[in-house]
Amino acid sequence: MELIEQILSQSNLKEAICRVKINKCAPGVDKRTVDELDSYFKKHQAEIKDAIMKMKYLPQAVRRVYIPKANGKKRPLGIPTVVDRVIQQAIAQALMKIYDPHFSEHSYGFRPRRSAHDAIEEVLEYLNIGYQWVIDSQY
């Protein structure tokens, strides 16, 4: 199965919709909420898939909001529409199935079923068996 078919498969899109709904994210510029996703996709899924397959799909603009930071400044944040979020999630899921098995078992950032707490736990295990150095690397 080609990657685009994996991305647009019924099961992958269904899982993507579920994950976006679980995240209870804010609406984008179209003001559509996660509560409307099921009915929207039931009505428009064929045309969305067709537009993507024909490379005609255009994501909508993101809604810009500013989140206050501890230092008093504000951090800009772009909020995509919930439909665009579903498509992004579907892409991420398909790519993760391909690439995740090739990542290091010691890599914890932005990985499914792994967290910063898991990384700390692994570091503590190494310290407990006698290792004395911890190196933090972004590469």
Count the Cβ atoms, other than its own, within 10 Å of residue 14. 14
The pLDDT score that the predictor gives to residue 116 is 87
- What's the rounded Cα separation, in Å, for the pair 127 and 105? 18
pTM recorded for the entire structure: 0.81
* 3-class SS of residue 60: coil
pLDDT confidence of 121, banded at 50, 70, 90?
A: very high
